[in-house]
Structure 1
Amino acid sequence: MSLTYPCFLVNYKTYEGTAGTDGLELATTIDAVRQQTGASFAVAPQTPDIYRIAEATDLPVVAQSVDSTAAGRGNGNISLASVAEAGASGALINHPESQDAFGDVGDIVAGCAEHGLESIVCVDSVELGRAAVAFDPDCLLFENPADIASDRALARTDPERVEAFVSMVQAERPDTRVLLGGGITTAADVAASLECGADAAGAASAFVDASDRSAWLSEIATALTEAEPR
């Protein structure tokens, strides 16, 4: 299932309580809010859980990481073919916590297209974004790595930087979407991200740490449904 915009990506990373049946229960909660509100959500679970969540929900599932590897040798690598067969809709590439050699990014983006996966390339600057957009990814995830797991959403702390990034993408490759991450903790952060021109936002710890996850997601959904798509 493809991502639709504006959307919100919930990344489980490897937080406690997000694996196996616990991770599936969280995905079911996200999917229930999606159905109740009509907002677009996607989830990035731990790799072994891609299949079970893709099978049990209608959420687009994004692989947290994939490797640039051909069939054959590559023990322990995560192939694009494997996550596509498991039911993933897309893949994160070059995440700050699992970075790829930048020379491999173009190959992974091309491989995603070959396997029907949406490519989401993570970058931390306008300059790196300009280099990455030349690979024609489906989406660029823009964030300041120092803001991860904080409450410093870029759309609030440096909206001009976000707007400059969005303008660059629109000028270079207008079909590429922009997702903001890092420090997204509230619906107001999501609204600010979309007002700056982003197509999507995402979070990890803010969702996992929410005392009432359904209520938190419902607030996020309101910000998404009230936004005007770019």
Structure 2
Amino acid sequence: MKSPIIIVNFKTYEEGTGENSVNIAKACRDVGEESGINIAVAPQTCDIYRISSQIEDISIYSQHIDGVGPGSFTGHTFSSGIKSAGATGTLINHSEKRLKLADIESAVSVAKKSELTSVICTNNVLTSAAAASFGPDYVAVEPPELIGSGIPVSEANPDIVRDTVTGVQNINSDVKVLCGAGISQGKDLKAALELGSHGVLLASGIVKSNEPKKALENLISLI
């Protein structure tokens, strides 16, 4: 079975804020090194430098960027800024931070200019295909009704994963598909990979766990 990418989204959970973010990132780094699997973290913007300055050899994704550069853009998050803080990639258009199509396109563009890995989050097959046309590195399909539900998309709606892989590949074969929503167990990751995805995007199953390292070890136990 192919080696996946796992992205752990810290959202704005207290369990993933401040020094807690460093502890979870260390667990991700350690399990990644032990298994050879790329386990990336997506902390809050305020914690990107906190993590990058304390932990080496970990992929750090911003939870959002705007399609702007340096200048008069108060309150915006810009790509070269998060890169200088230590980010290596970014989520774009998460269901909790939705963007218009033009804003998604510009965010991908500035991410490429800053050499950041880009992950466009989508909610169905059609939007996934549209996202692929912008040429991101990944499209992550997450039905919003399943996010945080504990019911994995690979179980509740396997066709959306399978059809998204096909739809994205038909538009741009260089774009890889991730799936998210309800992912927490080893069987969920295994099923996601068997459906054709290259990995998963998950949050509460790891970040809210009392033992994040054990939760990660369980997640990768079947691959």
Which residue pairs with 1:196 in the alignment? Answer: 195
Post-superposition offset of 1:212: 2.4
Q: Residues 93-118 of structure 1: CA distance to partner in whole angstroms, max 9, x if unpaired?
A: 11110111221111111111100101
Whether 2:19 is the aligned partner of 1:21: answer: yes
Residue 66 in structure 1 maps to residue 65 in structure 2: yes
SS of alignment partner, residue 33 of structure 1: helix
CA distance in 1, matches of 2:140, 2:37: 20
Residue in 2 aligned with 1:76? 75
| Structure-1 separation of matches of 2:42 and 2:61 | 5
CA drift of 1:214 comes to 1.5
Q: How does 1:53-132 map to 2 (within 5 A)?
A: 53-57=51-55, 58-132=57-131
Give the Cα separation in 2 of the matches to 1:78 and 1:142. 23
Contact residue 67 and residue 108 of structure 2 kept, 8 A: no
User: AA paired with 2:154?
Assistant: A
Tell me by how many angstroms 1:16 deviates: 1.1
2:176 aligned partner, one-letter code? R
Distance 1:5 1:83, change over 3 A: farther
Using the TM superposition, give the Cα deviation of residue 6 of structure 1 relative to its aligned residue in structure 2, in angstroms: 1.0
> 1:70, CA displacement in angstroms?
3.3
Distance in 2 (alpha carbons) for counterparts of 1:86 and 1:5: 28
Aligned to 1:46: 44
Which string of whole-angstrom CA distances, capped at 9 and with x for unpartnered residues, describes residues 113-171 of structure 1?
Answer: 10010111011111111111111111001010111111221111111221111111122
1:23-62 Cα deviation digits (max 9, x unpaired)? 1111112111112222220000110111121232211000
Q: TM-score if structure 1 supplies the norm length?
A: 0.91
* Local SS of the residue matching 1:23: helix
Separation (CA, whole Å) in 2 of partners of 1:95 and 1:140: 11
Between the aligned partners of 1:221 and 1:56, the Cα distance in structure 2 is: 25
What is the distance in 2 between the residues matched to 1:5 and 1:20? Answer: 30
In the alignment, the residues of structure 1 paired with residue 190 and residue 3 of structure 2 have an alpha-carbon distance, to the nearest angstrom, of 13
Aligned letter for 1:156? E
Q: Are the counterparts in 1 of residues 152 and 183 from structure 2 also a CA contact under 8 Å? A: yes
Name the stretch that deviates more: 72-81 or 31-40. Answer: 31-40
Could you tell me the TM-score, scaled by structure 2's length?
Answer: 0.94
Distance 2:175 2:141 in 1: 12
Over 6 Å off, 4+ runs: none
Aligned to 1:10: 8
Bigger CA drift: 61-70 or 206-215?
Answer: 206-215
The residue that corresponds to 2:213 in the other structure is 214
Supply the AA of the counterpart residue of 1:8: I
In the alignment, the residues of structure 2 paired with residue 34 and residue 71 of structure 1 have an alpha-carbon distance, to the nearest angstrom, of 34
Q: For 2:218 and 2:200, locate their aligned partners in 1 and report how far apart those are by CA, in whole Å.
A: 13
The percentage of counterpart residues that share the same residue type is: 32
Structure 1: stretches of 5+ with no match in the other structure: none
Q: Distance in 2 between matches of 1:28 and 1:212?
A: 12
Aligned length, in residue pairs: 221
| SS of equivalent to 1:56 | coil
Structure 2 stretches lacking a partner, 5+ long: none
User: Could you tell me how far apart the structure 2 residues matched to 1:34 and 1:161 are?
Assistant: 28
- Equivalent residue, structure 1, for 2:149: 150
